[in-house]
Amino acid sequence: MNPLEGILETALYAEDLDKVEAFYAGVLGLQKITRAGNRHVFFRCGPGVLLIFNPEETMQPPEPGSLPVPPHGTKGSGHACFRISRQNIDAMAESLKAAGVAIESDFHWPNGGRSIYFRDPAGNSLECAEAIIWGLD
Amino acid sequence: MNPLEGILETALYAEDLDKVEAFYAGVLGLQKITRAGNRHVFFRCGPGVLLIFNPEETMQPPEPGSLPVPPHGTKGSGHACFRISRQNIDAMAESLKAAGVAIESDFHWPNGGRSIYFRDPAGNSLECAEAIIWGLD
């Protein structure tokens, strides 16, 4: 049994946190946990947490006296995929379109299971997929 | 109830997939799902999947005739955190040290719960943490 029980935090990066907060909270309906100025905004998502960081700030070493969280940060389009059940994918696709978010791809994988892809305001590639694409239910 | 039930896929990026495969499978002990040449290597982790992509390949649009997976890719140091129980953190830290992996930070958060931080061979900032840091158990 591996002691790593799952992924607790998934991170994406965006420089305009106002836009991403409006998107993840407003369009995707995720519950915001906290926001720290223009450094980060964090969301609860099922049994895990989605972290959105501004790399301009997180690439800096921690300030003296603060917790020693190591620096990190990326540029470019990251990727994350949300788990969704088959009966909810159509409604999610409609909800995205109604919010003006383009569906970039929508297909079934060879092993069964559907994925829809779209972008967050920072250009990250997001996906909603049935867990069956990984043999999970 | 939000239809997004959790995060199914978490992505990190690395250009040398041989090194990261040896690290994630060998040092962290994750179960490899698949490897596609120098494009990607995927691992199972609890109820989700950790995807490691070579951005040099995934930034390219999909080839004609292949599934329309949108391009993505980042440069820089990403972040992901693994869920681990309190009783397993010490053993994980020892295991990392024995493999020559430096523990970059090791501390307790103000709300309780311990995190250890280290780097994968591509420089991504990895963390093992108790879920209590997010009020989850």
Which of A4, A74, A117 is closest, CB to CB, to B78? Answer: A74
Which of A53, A69, A124 is closest, CB to CB, to B105? Answer: A69
Predicted pLDDT of residue B137: 73
B81 touches chain A (CB under 8 A): yes
A92 touches chain B (CB under 8 A): yes
Rounded to whole angstroms, the Cα distance separating B132 from B2 reads 22
Predicted pLDDT of residue B108: 97
A101 and A93 Cβ atoms separated by less than 8 Å: no
B47 touches chain A (CB under 8 A): yes
Rounded to whole angstroms, the Cα distance separating B115 from B130 reads 7
Q: Three-state DSSP class for A103? A: coil
Q: How far is A39 from chain B (nearest CA, A)?
A: 15
B65 touches chain A (CB under 8 A): no
CB contact under 8 A, A70 and B107: no
Rounded to whole angstroms, the Cα distance separating B42 from B21 reads 9
B93 touches chain A (CB under 8 A): no
- Based on its alpha-carbon atoms, the radius of gyration of chain A, rounded to whole angstroms, reads 16
- Between the CA of residue B87 and those of A12, B25, B92, what are the distances in Å? 29, 22, 10
Q: Which CATH superfamily is domain A9-64+74-134 in?
A: 2,3-Dihydroxybiphenyl 1,2-Dioxygenase, domain 1 (3.10.180.10)
C-alpha atoms less than 13 angstroms from C-alpha of B77 in its C-beta half-sphere = 17
- Name the strands in the sheet holding B105-108, side by side, starting at the edge strand that comes first in the sequence: A31-36, A40-45, A48-53, A6-13, B79-83, B125-129, B114-119, B105-108
A2-48 residue pLDDT tens: 999 999 999 999 999 999 999 999 999 999 999 999 999 999 999 99
Pick the CATH number of B9-63+77-134 from 3.40.630.30, 3.30.43.10, 1.10.10.10, 3.10.180.10: 3.10.180.10
CB contact under 8 A, B5 and A85: yes
Q: How far is B12 from chain A (nearest CA, A)?
A: 8
CA B87 to chain centre: 21
Q: How far is B90 from chain A (nearest CA, A)?
A: 11
A61-109 residue pLDDT tens: 999 999 999 999 999 999 999 999 999 999 999 999 999 999 999 999 9
Residue B80 DSSP class:
E
Domain-wise residue ranges, chain B: 9-63+77-134
Q: Three-state DSSP class for B114? A: strand
Q: Is the pLDDT of residue A128 over 80?
A: yes
Mean pLDDT of A105-124: 96
